[in-house]
Amino acid sequence: GQNIDQPTEMTATEGAIVQINCTYQTSGFNGLFWYQQHAGEAPTFLSYNVLDGLEEKGRFSSFLSRSKGYSYLLLKELQMKDSASYLCAVRDYPNDYKLSFGAGTTVTVRA
Amino acid sequence: SQTIHQWPATLVQPVGSPLSLECTVEGTSNPNLYWYRQAAGRGLQLLFYSVGIGQISSEVPQNLSASRPQDRQFILSSKKLLLSDSGFYLCACHVRDNTNIQYFGAGTRLSVL
């Protein structure tokens, strides 16, 4: 089975940095994804890691360690619009393209 | 790039009534298609996925069924809705390229009363 854990909630101040951790135990591994979901809306793709290391995209970065079953999403220079739920998802096998999602981390950015 | 259309955006249905939610995709061909459900404050649960016309895989036993009558059309159905079927239903599409990304439609919020 799949077990994907991330914190339920985090709060940070505008302009600050927040790191959202995700640990996973899955029967296989072929990539880890981060999605952002604003309340009442569909998830939107943020990042994809399949090799160890850091992927940077503007204010957002994602890190992966396959040996530790661990990833984090780093949000820098927080803005009020970053208040959302952040979903960690793992693709188990290379051929079926199914994703298993964590429950999501709700980030609240305060002024 | 692909566009995913889902309708309706919101739906209120009585217990025991039938359901039909439609998802259509534009801008790509032969995609993998998915139906997810998200309960309030919860993660996404994969319900069905399809790799081609008429090919449906069910992930969890439930009161729902899915069909793919055309390459870019994916339908979620129920003959008799239960209270527990309430939730946010999302259709997703995976284009078979090297990006490995699933893109989501805007979703349907279903309330069964």
Does the beta-carbon distance from A31 to B100 stay under 8 Å?
yes
Torsion of CA A68, A73, A77, A83, to 10 degrees: -140
Task: Specify the higher pLDDT residue, A95 or B11.
Answer: B11
Cα(B30)–Cα(B71) distance, rounded to whole angstroms?
6
Angle (CA) B15-B70-A41 rounded to 5° is 55
Position B65 scores a pLDDT of 96
Does the beta-carbon distance from B42 to A103 stay under 8 Å?
yes
When scoring B101, B103, B108 by the number of chain A Cβ atoms within 10 A, the one with the most, hence best to mutate, is B101
Each residue's pLDDT tens digit, B14-28: 999 999 999 999 998
Long-range contacts of A52-60 (CB under 8 A, 24+ apart): A60/A34
Q: Is the minimum CB–CB distance between B32 and chain A shorter than 8 Å?
A: yes
* Residues of chain B contacting residue A45, judged by C-beta atoms under 8 Å apart: 101-103
Question: In the block, which residue shows the tokens 């692909």?
Answer: B2
**Would you call B84 helix, strand, or coil by DSSP?**
helix
When scoring A36, A47, A86, A99 by the number of chain B Cβ atoms within 10 A, the one with the most, hence best to mutate, is A99
Non-local (6+) Cβ contacts of B58 within 8 A are B47, B48, B66
> In 3D, which of B6, B64, B68 has the Cα closest to residue A42?
B6
Min CA distance, A70 vs chain B (Å)?
Answer: 18
B76, pLDDT greater than 70: yes
| B51, B100, B106 member nearest A48 (Cβ) | B100
Position A94 scores a pLDDT of 63
B88, pLDDT greater than 90: yes
In order, the DSSP letters of B32-79 are EEEEEEE-TT--EEEEEEEEETTEEEE-S--S-EEEEEETTEEEEEES
Min CA distance, B87 vs chain A (Å)?
Answer: 11
Cα(B83)–Cα(B75) distance, rounded to whole angstroms?
20
- Give the pLDDT band (50/70/90) at residue A95: low
Each residue's pLDDT tens digit, B48-68: 999 999 999 988 877 899 999
B109, pLDDT greater than 90: yes
